[in-house]
């Protein structure tokens, strides 16, 4: 066991360097106790890296132990040191221990998400009722970013999906002379399921990633800490405007997706299935009910709130550097799309059994 103490900084390395010139007598790994080290800088870390490489070449790998939190945070900034200095040897955790650790982590994330949702709902409702505390200019800006700039891609995807679905079903419907039923298929499926789901997936990939990247960058650059220092709650200042904006724009995007999807099916019906325009419109009015439209719009609001809160949670949990922001963005997109699909399945069952 080799113990180091004091400050491992550039000014005092001349006294410590001789102790790391060669490994102590013996065989096997050498444990270096850092519990008495109060400060370390890049020069001290470089000295440990060089010693680790020399000792590893001599068959005596170096292992760090007992580093205080402050020192440990500095060491974590140098991945190469972590590669050269393996953690203290010990028994690998068993299956139950790994399962318990994973379960505890999931539980912790769930509690954090519930707290975030509660804070967002509290500040949103309170701001609307008291007519203060909500930055409406920021809400308008976020509506433009999340809604207006997504109109093109949402409309194009919905149009193509509606036309493709009508074209694929046409082969089967023409065999039984049931061409007219393509109207029911397109109208109901687009308004109840595909319209809300496609719009939500597009927004999750576009806006959910943006929310996570923006907040994650603010966490890395300590802007979130600065907001807290100034007495501004990050949820109220950052998340509530996005929450309100997407809750307003997502139903509008869903209505647009429904319209373009039906138009895509309409073109296929009149060009390929020989269904007249008047016949198509009359059948659509007969088969489509208000509850179908309301079902999709209600789903769209749920999807929108999931996208923003999941993206904000991923951003707030960002730790590390620029690469951590990329990871948070990726997780936000995957988790957002997954949560939207799960919510869609649950909502579909609720509306199905409620009929």
Are 219 and 315 spatial neighbours (Cβ–Cβ below 8 Å)? yes
Q: Where in the chain is the domain with CATH 3.30.750.24?
A: 2-84
Distance CA 202, CA 205 (A): 5
The pLDDT mean for the chain works out to 85
**Longest pairwise C-alpha distance within the chain:** 94
Question: At 73, phi and psi to the nearest 5?
Answer: -65, -35
Element (H, E) at 144: helix 136-146
Q: What DSSP line would sit under 77-107, residue for residue?
A: T-HHHHHHSPPPP-PPP-HHHHHHHHHHHHH
- Residue-wise pLDDT for 44-58, tens only, equals 788 888 887 877 777
Other beta carbons within 10 angstroms of residue 345's beta carbon come to: 10
**Is residue 332 within 8 Å of 310, Cβ to Cβ?**
yes
**23: helix, strand or coil:** coil
Q: Is the pLDDT of residue 133 over 80?
A: no
Model confidence pLDDT, tens digit, residues 287-330 = 888 888 999 999 999 999 999 999 999 999 888 777 888 899 99
Q: What is the pLDDT of residues 160-169, one digit of tens each?
A: 999 888 888 8
What does the pLDDT look like over 17-43, one tens digit per residue? 787 777 777 777 878 888 888 888 888
Segment 319-327 long-range contacts (CB within 8 Å, at least 24 positions apart): 319/219, 320/220, 321/220, 322/220, 324/216, 324/220, 325/213, 325/216, 325/217, 325/220
- The CATH code for residues 2-84 is 3.30.750.24
- Confidence check: pLDDT of 246 > 70: yes
Of 19 and 221, more confident: 221
């Amino acid at each position: 066991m080799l113990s180091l103490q004091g400050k491992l900084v550039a000014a005092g390395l001349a006294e410590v360097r001789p102790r790391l010139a060669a490994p102590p007598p013996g065989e096997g790994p050498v444990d270096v106790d850092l519990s008495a080290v109060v400060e370390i800088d890049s020069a001290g870390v470089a000295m440990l890296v060089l010693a680790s490489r020399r000792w590893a070449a001599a068959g005596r790998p170096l292992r760090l132990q007992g580093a205080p939190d402050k020192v440990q945070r500095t060491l974590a900034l140098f991945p190469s040191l972590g590669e050269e200095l393996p953690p203290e040897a010990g028994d690998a955790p068993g299956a139950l221990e790994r399962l318990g650790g994973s379960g505890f982590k999931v539980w912790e994330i769930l509690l954090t998400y519930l707290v975030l949702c509660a804070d967002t709902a509290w500040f949103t409702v309170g701001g609307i009722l008291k007519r203060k505390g909500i930055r409406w200019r920021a809400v308008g800006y976020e509506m433009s970013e999340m809604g207006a700039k997504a109109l093109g891609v949402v409309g194009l995807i919905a149009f193509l999906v509606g036309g493709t679905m009508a074209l694929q079903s046409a082969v089967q419907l023409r065999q039984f002379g049931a061409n007219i039923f393509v109207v029911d298929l397109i109208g109901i499926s687009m308004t109840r399921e595909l319209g809300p789901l496609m719009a939500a997936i597009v927004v999750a990939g576009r806006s959910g990633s943006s929310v996570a990247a923006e907040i994650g960058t603010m966490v890395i650059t300590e802007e979130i800490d600065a907001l807290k220092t100034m007495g501004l709650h990050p949820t109220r200042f950052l998340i509530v405007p996005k929450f309100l904006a997407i809750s307003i724009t997502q139903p509008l995007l869903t209505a647009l997706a429904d319209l373009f999807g039906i138009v895509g099916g309409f073109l296929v019906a009149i060009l390929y299935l020989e269904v007249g325009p008047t016949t198509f419109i009359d059948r659509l009015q007969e088969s489509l009910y208000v509850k179908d439209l309301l079902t999709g719009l209600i789903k769209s609001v749920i999807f929108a709130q999931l996208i923003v809160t999941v993206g904000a949670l991923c951003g707030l949990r960002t730790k590390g550097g620029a690469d951590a922001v990329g990871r948070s963005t990726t997780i936000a997109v995957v988790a957002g799309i997954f949560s939207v699909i799960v919510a869609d399945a649950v909502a579909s069952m609720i509306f199905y059994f409620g009929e």
